[in-house]
Amino acid sequence: MLRFRIVAVIGAALFAGAAQNALAADLPQPAPYPPPQAPATYVPAPPAFSWTGFYIGANAGYGFSNGSGTFTPGPTSFSVSGNGFLGGAQAGFNYQMGGLVIGMEADFQGSTGSGSLTTPGGVITATAKDPWFGTFRGRVGYAFNRFMIYGTGGGVYGNGTINGTSTLPGGGPFNNSATYVTWTAGAGVEYAFMGPVSAKLEYLYAGSPSALPTIPGVTGVSGSANTNIIRAGVNYHF
């Protein structure tokens, strides 16, 4: 009798274990643990663009001028206006401190600028031209990485010519030239769009020239003139 009970207990235990294993087999199995991922590759941020250093470049644009005044003896009033294309080269140096950029720039321009000088009654009729000029300017700007806005100002030197006819006493046909200086101021924007290469758009205003070509029969001139220049250019930074 005792042996029968022992066998029954062992059989019941084996049956319970088998039932438990069968139930566990029917339960959903946990998903396998994902394999470890490789660490992401570190890509450093590109360094900020520096405007410090020398640069050279080329530019092209358009200019227009107008002026008025009086000749003596007379007085004989006059007016003059003109316009034309221009182009040339520039070179300069920048130094950057934080966002502040300071520098100097010089340029030399050839110009097709031409205009007419007229007086009442045709006392003097002439054509005025400005075949070449240059500037030497300071620049102060603020950089937003590769983009910069700036103001500029300095001096202008150039050559003006005038040819025509004067009916004043002592007048006649003439063709004369004079070298002049004056001042200029303006502003611009510049963007370094590809490596060390930048593009700029600039406006300059120039004041009255210090000297005018002589006109036969004219002993004195009073008046004012102004010139506006808009030009685009590219620079290579070293």
pLDDT (0 to 100) of residue 13 = 42
pLDDT (0 to 100) of residue 227 = 97
CATH topology of domain 54-237: Porin (2.40.160)
pLDDT (0 to 100) of residue 110 = 98
Report the candidate in 154, 153, 238, 158 with the shortest Cα–Cα distance to residue 198.
238
pLDDT (0 to 100) of residue 4 = 42
pLDDT (0 to 100) of residue 3 = 44
Q: What angle do CA 26, 27, 31 make, to 5 degrees?
A: 125
User: How many residues in total does the chain contain?
Assistant: 238
Report the candidate in 127, 106, 105 with the shortest Cα–Cα distance to residue 115.
127
CB burial string 90-112: b at 16+ within 10 A, e below: bebebebeeeebebebebebebe
Residue 48: Cβ-neighbour burial (10 angstroms; 0-12, 13-18, 19+): exposed
Report the candidate in 93, 85, 90 with the shortest Cα–Cα distance to residue 58.
90
pLDDT (0 to 100) of residue 41 = 79
Give 195-228 as a DSSP string: TTEEEEEEEEEE---S-----TT--EEEEEEEEE
Beta bridge partners of 84: 63
The residue ranges of every structural domain in the chain are 54-237
Nearest-angstrom CA–CA distance, 189 and 117: 35
Place of tokens 């019941």: 12
DSSP state for residue 75 in the 8-state scheme: T
Beta bridge partners of 159: 132, 179
Instruction: Give pTM, 2 decimals.
Output: 0.80
Per-residue confidence in pLDDT tens, the chain, 238 aa: 444 444 444 444 444 444 455 444 555 556 566 666 767 777 676 678 999 999 999 999 999 999 999 998 878 899 999 999 999 999 999 999 999 999 999 999 999 999 999 899 889 999 999 999 999 999 999 999 999 999 999 999 999 999 999 999 988 999 999 999 999 999 999 999 999 999 999 999 999 999 999 999 999 999 999 999 999 999 999 9
User: Would you give the distance in Å from CA 154 to the centre of its chain?
Assistant: 18
